[in-house]
Structure 1
Amino acid sequence: MSWLAIDRIDADGSTLECTLRSSPDLERFLTGEPFRVSYDRSIEGVPEGILAIPALANVCPVAWANGGDVYVDRVDATFAHALEEVEASLCSMHDFLEGGTLYARETTSATVTERSVAGDDRHATGDATEDGGSALLFTGGVDSTCSYVRHRESEPTLVSIRGWTITPDRADDEKWDTLRARVSSFADERGLETAFLETNALSALDHAMLLAHYRRYVDGAWYSSVGHGLGLLGLCAPMAAARDVSDLYLAATHWDGIDLEWGSRPDVDERVRWTATRCHHDGYHLTRQDRLDVIADYVRCDAPNLELQTCNRRLDGNCGECEKCYRTAVGLRLSGLEPSNHGYPFSDADYDQLRRSLEAGAWELGEDERYMWEDIRDRVLEAGPEPRSPEERAFFEWLRAADLESLVEDTRAPLSHRLFRVGARNAPTPVYNAAYPALKTMQTGLERVRSR
């Protein structure tokens, strides 16, 4: 029998910590570190049923992948029901997920007294109401910036999380400081609050082993394909309780018509909820190019100096040389904006290098990138602006005829990397532990949780 247990949940000031135990067959997916999340204000008054949500949101998919049950002392009743719905969605999406059962000694609902962490008695038991505030997971990329523009009238708290694309390791301190400064500047200019969370979720759970074991089933990493919608939203639960947030938004990566096995979709995110808070998968009806149009309208009306941050290589600006930088720059052009005015060193001369890089397989691309380039091509075919240079015209003519599906297939991981994953997947735990450093190095640069 497979199982995972969450023990000794403790809220000390602004830090949440609990221990994870498992049956022997699931031990390889745990590193032995306590699961930890640090917030930027006290969570000591948050009910234990809600304090359990961050860990549950991250360990439950691991248990479901192995037909395992999950045990916890207390859980918020609304979230427990939500987990059943999310489980059904993920199991329907992924054939390798077997599902499991959540066992709790007690299911709870927050009372008025318990929900007054932020000094506000507006919420009683039940689901979200219209009285609370809103929050938005935010990086400054296309998707989250579009969601801000769409919901700016509600003045959402901007939430950024360390522990996903930015690790909690000291080596990433500068990256985290850069992200905090950028998000804080964006918020200050608009009179918004911020919330910064730090977690070791990707090291308390053995992300490298999850990747080694399940990469064969998914187009991407474990978290991008399975766990990140539920996982990211769940990390925010104590923050939402402390700040009286009734609506929590996670910007969509994809859009209606894209049927990919992806961990953040409407049938996952829209089902996540806990007492007094509902979660929203935002902007799914808009393609990426549509979202750039929304941003372009905002730029022309209210924010002429807006800069986006989407780079796959750096956080202190955009390199202008990675696939995502090129893709965003071309999209900005198609929305009528000059990329160099919004954070992208791009000129007409770069079109030739972009084409050659795509044809040479310079980047490892997934199905989602194919859909995004197809979205750009659709705009070129349907309503794109008149090319303003011979270089732009030549690129658009090439894009009209390009076999984008073959470009994706040609950039899959090398056979040697795939075989290494298979070996790690089937190795006894002590053998795997010896191979872990090599696997960790191999995964760097190949797998990422896409920034929003």
Structure 2
Amino acid sequence: MKINEEKVILEENEVSTIIKEKEKKGIERENEKKILVKEIKKIGTQISYDYEIDRSLVSLLHMDNKLKIDYSIPIEDVPDEIAVIPFITGILPMIYLEDITVVLDRIDKDFYEAFDQIREGYKKMLPKGEWKGKIEAKEIIDHSKNPENGKSSVFFSGGVDSTSSLATHIKEKPEFILIWGSDILQNNEKSWETAKQIAQNTADQFGINTNYISSNFRFYLNENALTTKYRELLPVSWWYDVQHGAALLGHVAPIAYKKKLAVHYIPSSYNIHDKNVVCASYPTLDEKMKFCGCHIIHDGFEMTRLEKVKNICDFQKDSKPKITLRVCCTEREEEANCCKCEKCYRTIGELIACKEDPKKFGFPITEKEIRDIKKFFKKEEVQGTAVRHWKEIQNKMLEDQKYFKKLRYAKWIMKFNFDKTKRKDFKKEMWDENGEKI
């Protein structure tokens, strides 16, 4: 019997290739970075998480400060597949960039399907990154029929963006959601109480429910280490560029389940005219998020900031509520706004451009102090985006020069050359060269 030696050699090579591929996959599985969610503890209003991580992730996650979230409503009956979502979204970009496999028992079907879509959003925003990672769950559970029509919520900080969203959707009476641990850190109790009081006062005027969340989600991962590691990819910082949008939205999931929400609004910071923006909260990311039948709307993206202020002013005239805006970037213990920082000045300018008295909206500023804003621009650095907002204020005032020339304290705005102001480096403002917070 004649043996075809070429065929035998070919078959041996094929077998060898198959074996090598299997061995390679086996090695890849052994080297796979994993986060194992062992237990989700729900006691009263609090959720905490017990999880194990690979040794390679120790520098990126603080295992001595695991995620804990406290809600203002009981959450013991929220199923694990929903309760786990805030944990995953808080580290979502890390899961993608570090190619982590999250292993757990159960996951919500809507969120499981959104996981890949959100990753595609990150890829488009930051194409130089390698966005991988996956979720391995024993069960995928469908809660898509949970919502009731017309039920909605909104992140409400009391700022221009969220107050404009309230004005737009007031007929829905969207439930307010505030998170302590985001822009106001958990060690700043007095500022948090001020923010809560402003939100509660606004909610009470319209019979709106408020939901409060306290979370250490900015501290169960190492923001500084992640910013440093991905410095070449991130224009500003981990928190600003990739984390905060998904992390905030994930906290809504247990409330959405309990309250049967169909829609959650996240007020936009940018608008449709902003191009090539890198920001963790953007329509191409936020609107990919979904859980238990609740979808996300990145709200007000079609409006400029000045248009939002005009929307608020019209709302105030129509419904006569007392609106206090909280826009201040500085840490305040009592009043909502310092009336001395650029963001306060900007909002004051926008209110004046809309022919409104800033005092009515929470800015106790005198005419002399408004005149003195010009001195601020002559000596201080401001962000480039702020300059654009001020030029919009200027153009609005130039449309009615006769009216604004009568305002001696504000007419300087029409003549001021904002293009000559010193520009602030946003990255240097937030992080030093070692990736540490300043």
* TM-score, normalising length: structure 1: 0.82
Q: CA deviation at 1:418?
A: 3.6
Aligned to 1:266: 283
Matched, 1:356 2:375: yes
> Partner of 1:245: helix, strand, or coil?
coil
- Which of these residues, 294, 314, 325, is aligned with residue 308 of structure 1? 325
Superposition deviation, residue 338 in structure 1: 0.8
Paired letter, 2:369: D
Match of residue 141 from structure 1 = 159
2:211 to 191, 195, 205: 195
The counterpart of 1:257, out of the listed 273, 282, 293, is: 273
User: CA–CA distance in 2 between the matches of 1:155 and 1:89?
Assistant: 30
- SS at 1:392's partner residue? coil
Aligned match of 2:434 in 415, 420, 434?
Answer: 420
Q: 2:355: which partner in 1?
A: 336
Determine if contact 1:288/1:375 at 8 Å carries over to the other structure. no
Aligned partners of 1:20 and 1:207: how far apart in 2?
A: 19
Letter in 2 for 1:56: I
Match of 1:36 in 2: 68
| 2:347 alignment partner AA | T
Distance apart, 1:251 and its partner CA: 0.6
Aligned CA distance change for structure 1 residues 228 and 381 (closer, same or farther; 3 Å): farther
Q: CA deviation at 1:52?
A: 1.2
Amino acid at match of 1:341: K
TM-score by length of 2: 0.84
- Structure-to-structure mapping, 1:203-242, within 5 angstroms: 203-214=219-230, 217-242=233-258
Partner of 2:298: 281
Distance in 2, Cα, partners of 1:94 & 1:392: 42
Counting only pairs closer than 5 Å after superposition, residues 65-214 of structure 1 correspond to structure 2 as: 65-110=97-142, 125-126=143-144, 131=149, 133-169=151-187, 172-214=188-230
CA contact (8 A) 1:296 1:336 kept: no
Q: 1:127 to 1:252 in 2, by over 3 A?
A: farther
Instruction: Give the drift of 1:189.
Output: 1.8
Pairs aligned (count) = 402
Q: Which residue identity lines up with residue 235 of structure 1 in the other structure?
A: H
Following superposition, which runs of at least 4 residues in structure 1 exceed 6 angstroms of deviation?
Answer: none
* Larger CA deviation: 44-53 vs 387-396: 387-396
Shift, 1:329, TM fit: 0.4
Maintained 8 Å contact 2:181/2:214 = yes
SS in 2 for 1:226: helix
Aligned-partner residue type, residue 18 of structure 1: Y
| Cα separation, partners in 2 of 1:412 and 1:3, compared to 1, 3 Å | same
Query: Displacement, 1:372?
Result: 2.9
Q: Is the 8 A contact 1:66 1:97 kept in 2?
A: no
Q: Which runs of 5+ in 2 are unaligned?
A: 1-31
CA-CA distance at 1:96 after TM superposition:
4.6
Runs (5+) with no aligned partner, structure 1: 111-124, 422-438, 445-452
C-alpha distance in structure 1 between counterparts of 2:377 and 2:231, whole Å:
24
The letter for the 2-side match of 1:136 is: V
- Residue 339 and residue 419 in structure 1: after superposition, are their counterparts in 2 closer, same or farther (change >3 A)? same
Distance in structure 2 (CA, Å) of the matches to 1:234 and 1:65: 19
Distance 1:414 1:192 in 2: 37
The alignment partner of 2:186 has SS state of: coil
Q: For structure 1, which segment, 138-147 or 71-80, has the greater mean C-alpha deviation from structure 2 after superposition?
A: 71-80
Measured on the aligned residues, the alpha-carbon RMSD in Å equals 2.5
Which letter does structure 1 place at the counterpart of 2:242?
Answer: V
Tell me if the contact between 2:194 and 2:336 (Cα under 8 Å) persists in the aligned partners. Answer: no
Greater shift, 317-326 or 354-363, is seen at 354-363
Aligned-residue offset at 1:197? 0.6
* 3-state SS of paired residue (1:349): helix
| Residue of structure 2 equivalent to 1:397 | 415
Alpha-carbon distance change, 410 to 9 in structure 1, aligned in 2, over 3 angstroms: closer
- Are the structure 2 counterparts of residues 248 and 351 from structure 1 closer, same or farther at C-alpha, using a change threshold of 3 Å? same
Amino acid in structure 2 at the alignment position of 1:8? E
Of 327, 340, 348 in structure 2, the residue corresponding to residue 321 of structure 1 is 340
- Is contact 2:146–2:292 with CA below 8 Å preserved after alignment? yes
Which one is further off, 226-235 or 300-309? 300-309
Give the match's secondary structure for 1:201.
Answer: coil
Distance in 2, Cα, partners of 1:130 & 1:369: 40
In 2, Cα distance between the equivalents of 1:233 and 1:258? 22
Query: Highest CA radius of gyration, 1 or 2?
Result: 2
Q: Deviations over 1:128-150 (max 9, x none)?
A: 75525211110111110010111
% of aligned pairs identical? 23
Deviation at residue 225 of structure 1 after TM alignment: 1.7
Whole-Å separation in 1 of the counterparts to 2:214 and 2:429? 33
